[in-house]
Amino acid sequence: GAVVSQHPSRVICKSGTSVKIECRSLDFQATTMFWYRQFPKQSLMLMATSNEGSKATYEQGVEKDKFLINHASLTLSTLTVTSAHPEDSSFYICSANTGSKNIQYFGAGTRLSVL
């Protein structure tokens, strides 16, 4: 079946560095991908909708200059956390929409720890 691959699964970085997270659809083309954030013991929060070939749509309260999203191809979207700070430590998850069947597939998530 359709699979979404997210990489890396875990990253630890120093405060002030930038971290890039990749989300790939492995056997289908995803015109739309979504990025979520999950705080400990809380549910998922939609951060932004990533559209291939156009600018991402950010949810209210999400800084677009802080969380850079690039959806350069139909199978890859990237989320870059710029100048990461400890408060950015969280679990980031992507999902991709198959479009034709309108089914959402989720990546395994990336646990970011900023020291």
Quick one: which of 11, 56, 93, 114 contacts another protein (CB under 8 A)? 93
Quick one: which of 3, 20, 32, 82 contacts another protein (CB under 8 A)? 32
Amino acid of residue 21: I
> The tokens 């979504």 sit on which residue?
34
54 touching another protein, by CB under 8 A: no
105 touching another protein, by CB under 8 A: yes
CA distance 51 to 14: 30
List contacts with another protein (CB under 8 A).
Answer: 32, 34, 36, 38, 42-46, 49, 91, 93, 95, 97, 102-106, 108-109, 111
